[in-house]
Amino acid sequence: MAEQNIPGTGSGYDPQKIEEKWQKRWAEARVFESEADPSKPKYYVLEMLPYPSGTLHMGHMRNYTIGDVVARVKRMRGFNVMHPMGWDAFGLPAENAAIKNNTHPREWTNKNIAEFQRVLRRFGFSYDWRREISTCAPEYYRWNQWFFLRMLERRLAYRKKSRVNWCPKCCTVLANEQVVNGGYCWRHEDTLVESREIEQWFLKTTAYAEQLLDDLKQLEGGWPERVILMQRNWIGKSQGAKVKFVVADVAGAGAIEVFTTRIDTIYGATAVILAPGHPLLPKLLEDSPARAEADAKLAKMRQASVKTEDLATMEKEGFFTGRYALNPFSGENVPIWVGNFVLMEYGTGAIMAVPAHDQRDLEFCRKYGLSVRVVVQPPEGEPLIEEKITAAFDEHQQGKLVNSGPYSGLSPQEAIAKMAAFAEQKGFGRSETIFRLKDWGISRQRYWGTPIPVVYCSKDGVVPVPDKDLPVLLPPNPKLTGMGESPLASTPEFVYTTCPKCGGPARRETDTMDTFVDSSWYFYRYCDPHNDTAPYDSAKAAYWFPIDQYIGGITHAILHLLYSRFWCKVMRDLGLIMHNEPAARLFTQGMVQKGGVAMSKSRGNVVGAEEMARKYGADTGRLYTLFAAPPEKDLEWSEESIEGSWRFLNRVYRLVERHGHAVRRVKSSAGDLTGVQDPERNLLRKTHQTLRRVTSDFESRWHFNSAIALIMELVNEIYAQEPLEECVRPGAMKEMLVIVTLMLAPMVPHLAEELWEMLGHSDGLWQERWPDYDPKLEKEIEVEVVVQVNGRVRGKFLAPAGLRESDLVERATSEQSVAPHVSGKRIVKKIVVPDKLVNLVVA
């Protein structure tokens, strides 16, 4: 740290002064404001909108810096750029904080928004603040309600009684995805989630299951493969068949329908296994000898809900119901069991266990001593022997059927078609495609969310609130306790209303919407944030959409993105838009870690964004987060490297400070290179080579870190030739400094503007285009090098000028015409004339 210029000493580079100055100029010149204009090419870059809670730390800033660099580069490239920012402002933390501090959630939220806004402005992010939205504003959530009503009209919103995950601490329903670690609340990792049955509102995401899956193809190349795969698995399409097993020994119990993707293995089914919540179970257990034992086991199984991704690894538990069911193909009675790994929400809530051909079934059957029967033999190798199987043979569509009555000898593929047809003909089964994707339960028993716009009338039932009465406003003074049903239910002035249909007394729905509703379409509102007659103007959306670059954390790879894709398709079918997918490209940035773990307030390892700006300036913070790691990788925070970034910016500042005066009035030009000598020639070449590589790092793969490294290297080479004025003409000097400044502009925009001014420009850098490199200048000069061995010319080759001695010798000895004269011999002497001659003496 030998550098003179320590942050805060006020000499030379003063980021506090510079940053404030340029932020003011940009705002005055309205540099970042853009309007839909079909005559210009557009670019819509967006970072996922933040939840305004806690303190903005450098983990957040990395995300916004990446987005800002992209926005600024695209502006310099001549695009009409939209880069907006807003707030995901509804949600539990506001409500919990309000309960704790006895304030209103709105107060807490607005305070946080003001704070977030201040810090984002301090970092100079190029947002069009006129487009700012806040999802808790009635002008916004009104349109959530409007969309809900449209979905209600199209039966895409419906109400049903359903079993839900209930967190006793949150006192609200949780989505399946909010149940983590095999049954705990995502917010309360020590609280087991319970299962309860209540009336809920659902959005019919399953109506779009096929499209949500198919359209993933359109996103290939633009979205990370990993995210596409996660979405595909979440939607979880399976082709198979449903088959009925009639309950054999309980009169009137009917049949158990199982779903299987392998009907061809049905002769190998040695049990039927039900989900713990299967509706037939009480009847089966009624007079069963297994009854007493069953109750205790069921209670345990029902307590925690199971997530599909845990199924493969979880310990399989089960018990025998004492009952049997008839396999409709083999005519055999098989035992009916209950298993914790069978989910009521998937398929029919019942499976047939085929242990020889399904690993999960095998583990279960071995554990409980159920028999194993081979019905498909592999195409090659040793035939399977039932007693010895440790791994199920579950290769799809391979091998031949055995022990399968009239189907023996068929391939699995032939058998699947024939058996499904037979089942259909006999009326006990049919082919079917099922999805893992469920409808989206949106009811939440909390205050701080969008009220669901329906009323309940004793005469008319469920009555939608008419559009003209939207928004249904949240009551201003709720009683928030965090307990029991929705706080809206204990606010009489909200609950009691009149029926829009008959005018009689009615009650309002008191649940609010899941906050994922808010974030499902917010990016459309940015196109037209103040529209009070529609969610947005379709022409504006048609111009700006799809989003050209969406940036956010991998944590949103499933839910937020799936719900927004669903919403997009609904809006398309409502005629609001024409496209199928909201975002053409998605980027998921790495995390910022400190001490090996992600920065988070609860871990106490955050580096506050504001503290960073105060100490080093926003530009150093921006540069560091870009330089420390490639954007997709995790970044380990290092105070030393920040010092490095700070020193680099100081070096650039001093370079321009030293030479700015000399070049202010000069035209920036490299001019004609004839007669120009090194080091000027060399520096110009290096400058244009750097520009070419930095351009490609920005455009194609976002290698911001390597772009910065290249610029640092260039600056070092320029420094190495000091005093510059003695060896470089002013026009060329200006050219180099201008290019360095423009290359830095997207990353450290405040400093770049200041340097631009120091170089004699009176118009802001923000009006500048990205420079083009000069192919003539960046090209290496080639020289012809002659190779002699023991004094005789043996060959010649072309090489870039200025190659090092060792490189020249290596090139010389590997020349085809030279190699025979040196191979197997010892080189006793090398005489090298740079750029001209390699003379080797061998013995």
Interaction site with Zn ion (CB under 5 A) = 167, 169-170, 185, 187-188, 457, 459-460, 499, 501-502, 504
DSSP one-letter string for 714-781: HHHHHHHT-SGGGTS-HHHHHHHHHHHHHHHTTTSHHHHHHHHHHTT--S-GGGPPPPPP-HHHHSPP
CB of 189 or CB of 220, closer to Zn ion? 189
Q: How far apart are CB 191 and Zn ion at their closest, in Å?
A: 5
Whether the Cβ atoms of residue 60 and residue 115 lie closer than 8 Å to each other: no
Can you give the three-state secondary structure of 238-274, one letter per residue? EEEEEEEEEECCCCCCCEEEEEECCHHHHHHCCEEEE
What phi and psi values does residue 311 have, to the nearest 5 degrees? -60, -40
Question: CB of residue 699 vs Zn ion: minimum separation in angstroms?
Answer: 45
Are the CB atoms for 629 and 635 separated by under 8 Å? yes
What are the start-end ranges of the H helices in 617-678? Answer: 618-627, 639-663
State the nearest-atom distance from the C-beta of 556 to Zn ion, in Å: 20
What are the Cα distances from residue 634, in Å, to 380, 561, 568, 592, 708? Answer: 46, 22, 31, 6, 18
Spell out the residues 6+ positions from residue 133 whose beta carbon is closer than 8 angstroms to its own: 84, 86, 87, 140, 522, 525, 526, 529
Decide: 260 and 240 in contact? Cβ < 8 Å. yes
- For residue 163, the minimal CB distance to Zn ion (Å) is 17
Cβ closer to Zn ion: 89 or 499?
Answer: 499
Q: Which residues of 564-579 are buried (b: 16+ CB within 10 A; e: fewer)?
A: bbbbbbbbeeeebbee
Judged by CB, which is closer to Zn ion: 192, or 253? 192
What is the nearest approach in angstroms of Zn ion to the Cβ of residue 498? Answer: 8
Shorter beta-carbon distance to Zn ion: residue 85 or 457: 457
Task: Report whether the peptide linkage leading into residue 771 is cis, meaning its omega lies within 30 degrees of zero.
Answer: no
State the DSSP H helix or E strand holding residue 587, giving kind and residue range, or none if neither.
Answer: strand 586-588
Minimum CB separation from Zn ion for residue 116, in Å? 25
Name the helix (H) or strand (E) containing 840.
Answer: strand 837-842
Instruction: Please tell me the chain's helix, strand, coil percentages from 3-state DSSP, rounded to the nearest 5.
Output: 40, 20, 40
Contact 203, 569 (CB under 8 A): no
Shortest spacing between CB 645 and Zn ion, in angstroms: 41
CB of 307 to Zn ion, least distance (A): 16
Q: Give CA–CA dist 584/44, Å, rounded.
A: 10
5-33 burial string, b = 16+ CB within 10 Å, else e? bebeeeeebbbeebbeebbeebeeeebbe
Cβ distance to Zn ion smaller for residue 169 or 804:
169
Rounded to a whole number of angstroms, the minimum distance from the CB of residue 173 to Zn ion is 11
Q: How far apart are CA 631 and CA 61, in angstroms?
A: 12
547: its two tokens: 């989003």
- Name which of 194 and 257 has its Cβ closer to Zn ion: 194
Closer of 303 and 425 to Zn ion (Cβ): 303
Measured N-to-C along each axis, helices 639-663 and 749-758 cross at an angle, to the nearest 10 degrees, of 20
Beta carbon nearer to Zn ion, 169 or 769: 169
The smaller minimum CB distance to Zn ion, of residues 311 and 463, is found at 463
Cβ closer to Zn ion: 95 or 757? 95
CB 165 to Zn ion: min, Å = 10
Classify burial at 122, counting beta carbons within 10 Å of its beta carbon; exposed 0-12, middle 13-18, buried 19 or more: buried
Task: Provide the 3-class DSSP secondary structure of residue 111.
Answer: helix
Q: Let me know: does 438 contact 250? Beta carbons within 8 Å.
A: no
> Nearest approach, Cβ of 466 to Zn ion (angstroms)?
13
Q: Which is nearer to Zn ion, 457 or 743 (CB)?
A: 457
Smallest gap, in angstroms, from Cβ of residue 469 to Zn ion? 14
Instruction: Give the three-state DSSP class for 622.
Output: helix
Q: C-beta of 510: minimal distance to Zn ion in Å?
A: 18
Q: Which is nearer to Zn ion, 92 or 613 (CB)?
A: 92
Q: Which is nearer to Zn ion, 169 or 776 (CB)?
A: 169
DSSP 18-46: HHHHHHHHHHHHTTT-----TTS-EEEEE
